[in-house]
Amino acid sequence: MLRHSDSRQNSVPLPGNHTLKMIEAKGIVKKFGNLVVLKGIDMFVKEGEIVSIVGASGAGKSTLLQILGTLEKPDEGIVNIGGTAVNKLSDKELSAFRNQKIGFVFQFHHLLPEFTALENICIPAFIAGTAKTKAVERAKYLLDYFKLSERAEHKPSELSGGEQQRVAVARALMNNPAVVLADEPSGNLDSNSANELHKLFFKLREEFNQTFIIVTHNPELAVMADRKLHIIDGLIE
């Protein structure tokens, strides 16, 4: 990563280990047919850091996020997360690693409509094989933390957009991941709900020392981050 992209947007010290690279990507290339979307991305994110990624539509922001989250594999390059070379993991190992270490927040929530808020939050724990009693206890804690306890038995269609997104964030935190990746998390929210969500990310970082990478078109959220990375033509500016 070029050093001139590393300017801090505020003076708040990072929690945790200031020097530990939680995520490191080197030489990331991704092609779709003849289209080269990512052309050799080099970047890192420190433990407890919040980094925003911005750029024009089609610049490769979401593709990069999916590669960092192990949902996509690069055609070239390596990704290390918390000291683990994820490229070297088998599909089974990678699935377990993703479930335990990475939380995802998407623009379109992806809550399962037939399940309640409580049940949606529990899903990552059930996938990990956590006992139901322990999973429900954790989910109730998160519901209380997000001020959603009274909505525990409501299905997504009965929740506001802001409430649905908070349920989605709670689900991302269910297994206490080291890294949270968010793709346009406030894209479908009104300005008030978006502002509350932005503040929430920083509160979570302060309390739980989680590392965040946020792809966004929201300029206010982008500049709130510790660092803002700009992708242009498949490279970080």
Query: pTM (2 decimals)?
Result: 0.81
Q: Which domain holds residue 200?
A: 3-236
| CATH at 99 | 3.40.50.300
Task: Say if residue 64 is exposed, middle or buried (CB neighbours under 10 Å; 0-12, 13-18, 19+).
Answer: buried
Domain tally, the chain: 1
- pLDDT at res. 14: 45
Q: Which whole-number Å values give the CA distances from 133 to 74, 125, 126, 140, 177, in the listed order?
A: 38, 11, 11, 11, 20
Residue 110, phi-psi category: left (phi > 0), alpha (psi -120 to 50), beta (remainder)? left
- pLDDT at res. 58: 79
How confident is the prediction along the chain (237 residues), in pLDDT tens digits per residue?
Answer: 333 333 333 334 444 445 588 999 999 999 999 999 999 999 999 999 999 999 888 788 889 999 999 988 999 999 999 889 998 899 999 988 988 899 888 876 689 999 999 999 999 999 889 999 999 999 999 999 888 999 999 999 999 888 888 899 899 889 989 899 988 877 777 777 777 778 888 888 888 888 999 998 888 788 888 999 999 988 988
How many Cβ atoms are within 10 Å of 36's Cβ, its own excluded? 15
- Is 98:69 a contact under the CB 8 Å cutoff? yes
